[in-house]
Amino acid sequence: MLILGSICIDCGIPEKATYTDEKTQIPYTSDALFIDTGTSKNISLKLTSEISQRIFTTVRSFPEEKRNCYKLQHPERRDTIYLIRASFMYGNYDDLNKLPLFDLYVGVNFWDTVMFDNATHVVIKEILHVPSMDEIYICLLNTDKGTPFISALEMRHLDHDSYRTNSALLSLYRRFDIGSITNEIVR
């Protein structure tokens, strides 16, 4: 199901690959059109049985540059609210068994620090953003505490009636599912 005003990227999959997630029905595409740096990697084969979502089986890592940025052309007009979600799972993709720590930016604005508890710990960072330009840059900054990487990057257009904010950046601290009786992830 195509969600209008959305970009859903599975980082590290082959350049022209696309697929629709069976559980969520969200269509994903390769990150090759959005960035020209980094290296595609697969998570450790020993950990693939523990992964519940396909987006966590590959990553794009950035061992070379200090700052690496995805360039997203938002499908709606400027001054529209977007939910941007960056997802990470280390999965020992580099066979080093060393959990990295790095920073995440929207353009030049600090978003958050990405850190992990273990190799299969999924970290999801979400932010509400109102772009003032035609492009949105999502950047990973190497803080010399391990190689930055990313599993998935999503940008969803939100109706102005859903969220009202005067801020260009509004980070989401925590989201709870109060009504679930199955303990399954619902999106």
Q: Averaged over 126-133, what is the pLDDT?
A: 88
What whole-number percentage of the chain has pLDDT above 90?
63
Write down the pTM of the prediction: 0.84
- Residue 56 DSSP code: G
In the three-class reduction of DSSP (H, G, I as helix; E, B as strand; rest coil), residue 144 is classed as strand
Q: How does residue 159 score in pLDDT terms, banded at 50, 70 and 90?
A: low
Q: Which helix (H) or strand (E) holds 59?
A: strand 58-61
Between residues 178 and 87, which one has the greater pLDDT? 87
Confidence check: pLDDT of 77 > 90: no
Q: How does residue 49 score in pLDDT terms, banded at 50, 70 and 90?
A: confident
CA torsion 134→72→15→8, rounded to 10°? Answer: -130
Sheet holding 122-129, edge to edge: 18-20, 27-30, 6-10, 152-158, 81-89, 122-129, 169-171
- What confidence score (pLDDT) does residue 170 get? 46
- What confidence score (pLDDT) does residue 32 get? 96
Q: Averaged over 2-31, what is the pLDDT?
A: 89
Contact 56, 108 (CB under 8 A): no
- What confidence score (pLDDT) does residue 130 get? 85
- What confidence score (pLDDT) does residue 1 get? 41
Confidence check: pLDDT of 148 > 70: yes
Distance CA 177, CA 148 (A): 29
Distance CA 42, CA 91 (A): 8
- What confidence score (pLDDT) does residue 182 get? 61
Distance CA 36, CA 32 (A): 7
Between residues 164 and 104, which one has the greater pLDDT? 104
Q: Is 39 exposed, middle or buried (0-12, 13-18, 19+ CB in 10 A)?
A: middle
Contact 155, 136 (CB under 8 A): yes
- What confidence score (pLDDT) does residue 147 get? 97
Confidence check: pLDDT of 13 > 50: yes
Domain 6-171: state its class. Answer: mainly beta
Q: Which two tokens stand for residue 156?
A: 């969803």
**Helix and strand counts by DSSP (H, E) for the chain:** 0, 14
Place of tokens 């195509």: 2
